[in-house]
Structure 1
Amino acid sequence: MGSWRDQILREFTPQVARLTLVADPDGLLLEEGVLEGIRERGFELIPFEDHVAFRYAYESKFRSRWDRGEETDLVVVLRSPSSDLDALPYDLLQAGRKLSFSLSDLFPNLSYPVVAALDRADLDALFDAQLRHAPGQLGDNATKDFILRHVFDIAPELIKEPQGLLRVLLRRHYRGQRIPAILDERLIQMLRQNGRFEDWPLEAIIPDGQAFFAFLQERWPVFLDQFAAQMLGEKCKVREVEAHYALSTPHLPFDHPDVRIYLDNLFFEGLLQPVPHKQSQMLAKTWVAYGIEVSSEENRRRRMEGLLDALEKTIPTVEVRHGEWLQFAYRWAELVALELEPDTILPEGYRARLQALRSRIDSALTDWVMKRYGSLINLPPTPPVMLHHIPRFLARSLGDDRRSKIAFLLVDGLALDQWIVLREVLSEQDSSLRFRENAVFAWIPTITSVSRQAAFAGKPPIFFPASIHTTDKEPALWTQFWVDQGLNANEVAYAKGLGEGDLDKVSELISRPKLRVVGLVIDKVDQILHGMALGAAGMHNQVRLWTKQGFLRDLLGILHTKGFQAYLASDHGNVEAQGVGRPAEGAVADVRGERVRVYSDYRLRAQIKERFPQSLEWPPIGLPEDYLALIAPYRTAFVREGETIVGHGGISVEELIVPFVQIERQNR
Structure 2
Amino acid sequence: MSSWRDQILKEFTPNVAKLTLVADPDGLLLEEGILEGVRDRGFELIPFEDHIAFRYAYESKFRSRWDRGEHTDLVVVLRSQASDLNGLPYDLLQAGRKLSFNLGDIFPNLSYPVVIALDTGDLDALYDAQKGHAPGQLGDNATKEFVLRHVFEIAPELIKQPSDLLRVLLRRHYRGRRIPGILDDRFIQILRQNKVFSEWPLDAVVRDRESFFAFLQERWPVFLDRATQGGIEIREDAKPYGLSMEGPVDLPFDHDDIRVYIDNLFVEGLLQPVPHAVAESLAKSWVHIGIQDVSREDRALRLDKLITNLSCSIPEEDARHGDWFRFARGWAELILLLHDVSDADHEKHSERVKTLQDQVDDRFTAWLFKRYAGLMNLPPAPPVMLHHLPRFLARQVEADKAKVAMVVVDGLALDQWLVIRDSLKNKQPGLRFREQAVFAWVPTTTSVSRQSAFAGKAPIYFPNSIATTDKEPALWSQFWADQGLSQREVVYMKGLGDGDLENVAEALSHPQARVAGLVVDKVDKIMHGMEMGTAGMHNQVRQWADQPYLSSLFGLLLDKGYRVYVTSDHGNIEAKGCGRPTEGAVADLRGERVRVYSSATLRDQVKERFPEALEWGAVGLPEDYLALLAPARRAFINEKNCTVGHGGISVEEIIVPLVQVEKRDE
Shorter-chain TM-score range: over 0.9
What is the identity, as a one-letter code, of the residue corresponding to 1:559?
L
State the match for 1:140 in structure 2.
140
The alignment partner of 1:193 has SS state of coil
**For each residue in 1:198-243, what CA deviation from the matched residue of structure 2 results, as whole angstroms up to 9, or x when unmatched?**
0111011000011001111111111112222227xx6767883111
**Among 537, 560, 576, the residue aligned to 2:574:** 576
State the match for 1:531 in structure 2.
529
What is the identity, as a one-letter code, of the residue corresponding to 1:555?
L
State the match for 2:213 in structure 1.
213
**For each residue in 1:303-342, what CA deviation from the matched residue of structure 2 results, as whole angstroms up to 9, or x when unmatched?**
2111111011111121111111110000000111112238
Counterpart check, 1:272 vs 2:289: no
Counterpart check, 1:385 vs 2:384: yes
Give the conservation status (yes or no) of the 8 Å contact 1:600–1:628. Answer: yes
State the match for 1:368 in structure 2.
367
TM-score, structure 2 as length reference: 0.98
State the match for 1:566 in structure 2.
564
Q: CA deviation at 1:382?
A: 1.1
In the superposition, relative to structure 1, how do residues 313 and 409 fare at CA in structure 2: closer, same or farther (>3 Å)? same
State the match for 2:301 in structure 1.
302
Q: Distance in 1 between matches of 2:234 and 2:456?
A: 58
- Identical counterparts, % of pairs: 64
State the match for 2:393 in structure 1.
394
State the match for 1:348 in structure 2.
347
Q: CA deviation at 1:245?
A: 2.1
What is the identity, as a one-letter code, of the residue corresponding to 2:371?
R
Counterpart check, 1:462 vs 2:446: no
Q: Distance in 1 between matches of 2:406 and 2:131?
A: 45
State the match for 2:201 in structure 1.
201
What is the identity, as a one-letter code, of the residue corresponding to 1:441?
F
What is the identity, as a one-letter code, of the residue corresponding to 1:322?
H
The alignment partner of 2:146 has SS state of helix
State the match for 2:600 in structure 1.
602
Q: Distance in 1 between matches of 2:618 and 2:48?
A: 21
The alignment partner of 2:494 has SS state of strand
State the match for 1:662 in structure 2.
660
What is the identity, as a one-letter code, of the residue corresponding to 2:505?
S
What is the identity, as a one-letter code, of the residue corresponding to 2:648?
G
Aligned length: 664
Q: Distance in 2 between matches of 1:9 and 1:450?
A: 33
Q: Distance in 2 between matches of 1:533 and 1:30?
A: 43
Q: Distance in 2 between matches of 1:2 and 1:555?
A: 53
State the match for 2:406 in structure 1.
408
Give the conservation status (yes or no) of the 8 Å contact 2:300–2:341. Answer: no
State the match for 1:161 in structure 2.
161
Farther-moved stretch of structure 1 (238-247 vs 493-502): 238-247
Q: CA deviation at 1:398?
A: 2.1
Q: Distance in 2 between matches of 1:236 and 1:46?
A: 62
State the match for 1:637 in structure 2.
635
Q: Distance in 2 between matches of 1:242 and 1:345?
A: 40
TM-score, structure 1 as length reference: 0.98
Q: CA deviation at 1:346?
A: 2.4
What is the identity, as a one-letter code, of the residue corresponding to 2:172?
R
State the match for 1:557 in structure 2.
555
What is the identity, as a one-letter code, of the residue corresponding to 1:365?
F
What is the identity, as a one-letter code, of the residue corresponding to 2:228?
A
| Ranges of 4+ aligned residues in structure 1 off by more than 6 Å | none
State the match for 2:280 in structure 1.
281
State the match for 2:77 in structure 1.
77
Q: CA deviation at 1:501?
A: 1.0
Q: Distance in 2 between matches of 1:366 and 1:48?
A: 30
State the match for 1:451 in structure 2.
449
Query: Root-mean-square deviation (CA), in Å?
Result: 1.4
Q: Distance in 1 between matches of 2:342 and 2:422?
A: 16
Q: Distance in 2 between matches of 1:69 and 1:294?
A: 71
**For each residue in 1:138-175, what CA deviation from the matched residue of structure 2 results, as whole angstroms up to 9, or x when unmatched?**
21111111111111111111100111100100000000
Counterpart check, 1:290 vs 2:289: yes
Q: Distance in 2 between matches of 1:577 and 1:432?
A: 37
Q: CA deviation at 1:348?
A: 2.6
State the match for 2:110 in structure 1.
110
In the superposition, relative to structure 1, how do residues 216 and 344 fare at CA in structure 2: closer, same or farther (>3 Å)? farther
**For each residue in 1:226-267, what CA deviation from the matched residue of structure 2 results, as whole angstroms up to 9, or x when unmatched?**
222227xx676788311112334x321111111110010000
In the superposition, relative to structure 1, how do residues 162 and 237 fare at CA in structure 2: closer, same or farther (>3 Å)? closer
Q: Distance in 2 between matches of 1:238 and 1:283?
A: 23
Runs (5+) with no aligned partner, structure 2 = none
Counterpart check, 1:419 vs 2:395: no
In the superposition, relative to structure 1, how do residues 612 and 307 fare at CA in structure 2: closer, same or farther (>3 Å)? same
Q: CA deviation at 1:278?
A: 2.3
In the superposition, relative to structure 1, how do residues 401 and 375 fare at CA in structure 2: closer, same or farther (>3 Å)? closer
**For each residue in 1:354-411, what CA deviation from the matched residue of structure 2 results, as whole angstroms up to 9, or x when unmatched?**
1111111111111111111111111111111111111111111223344x20010000
Q: Distance in 1 between matches of 2:235 and 2:104?
A: 57
State the match for 1:626 in structure 2.
624
Give the conservation status (yes or no) of the 8 Å contact 2:441–2:449. Answer: yes
Give the conservation status (yes or no) of the 8 Å contact 2:594–2:628. Answer: yes
Q: Distance in 2 between matches of 1:289 and 1:238?
A: 24
The alignment partner of 1:399 has SS state of helix
State the match for 1:332 in structure 2.
331
Q: Distance in 2 between matches of 1:569 and 1:294?
A: 31
What is the identity, as a one-letter code, of the residue corresponding to 2:351?
A
**For each residue in 1:492-550, what CA deviation from the matched residue of structure 2 results, as whole angstroms up to 9, or x when unmatched?**
11111111011011001111111110100111111111111111111111111111112
Give the conservation status (yes or no) of the 8 Å contact 2:296–2:341. Answer: no
Farther-moved stretch of structure 1 (280-289 vs 434-443): 280-289
Give the conservation status (yes or no) of the 8 Å contact 1:387–1:440. Answer: yes
**For each residue in 1:612-656, what CA deviation from the matched residue of structure 2 results, as whole angstroms up to 9, or x when unmatched?**
000001111110000000000011111111100111000101101
Give the conservation status (yes or no) of the 8 Å contact 2:299–2:341. Answer: no
Q: CA deviation at 1:435?
A: 0.3
Q: Distance in 2 between matches of 1:194 and 1:226?
A: 26
Q: CA deviation at 1:296?
A: 4.5
Q: CA deviation at 1:661?
A: 0.4
Give the conservation status (yes or no) of the 8 Å contact 1:225–1:237. Answer: no
Alignment of 1:169-180 (within 5 A): 169-180=169-180
Q: CA deviation at 1:34?
A: 0.7
Give the conservation status (yes or no) of the 8 Å contact 2:573–2:644. Answer: yes
**For each residue in 1:398-438, what CA deviation from the matched residue of structure 2 results, as whole angstroms up to 9, or x when unmatched?**
23344x20010000000111001011111111000100000
What is the identity, as a one-letter code, of the residue corresponding to 1:475?
P
Give the conservation status (yes or no) of the 8 Å contact 2:403–2:514. Answer: yes
Q: CA deviation at 1:667?
A: 3.4
Q: Distance in 1 between matches of 2:626 and 2:578?
A: 20
Counterpart check, 1:87 vs 2:109: no
State the match for 2:500 in structure 1.
502
What is the identity, as a one-letter code, of the residue corresponding to 1:528?
I
State the match for 1:56 in structure 2.
56
State the match for 2:546 in structure 1.
548
Farther-moved stretch of structure 1 (271-280 vs 161-170): 271-280
Counterpart check, 1:7 vs 2:7: yes
**Among 405, 426, 429, the residue aligned to 2:427:** 429
Q: Distance in 1 between matches of 2:293 and 2:603?
A: 55
Q: Distance in 2 between matches of 1:589 and 1:139?
A: 61
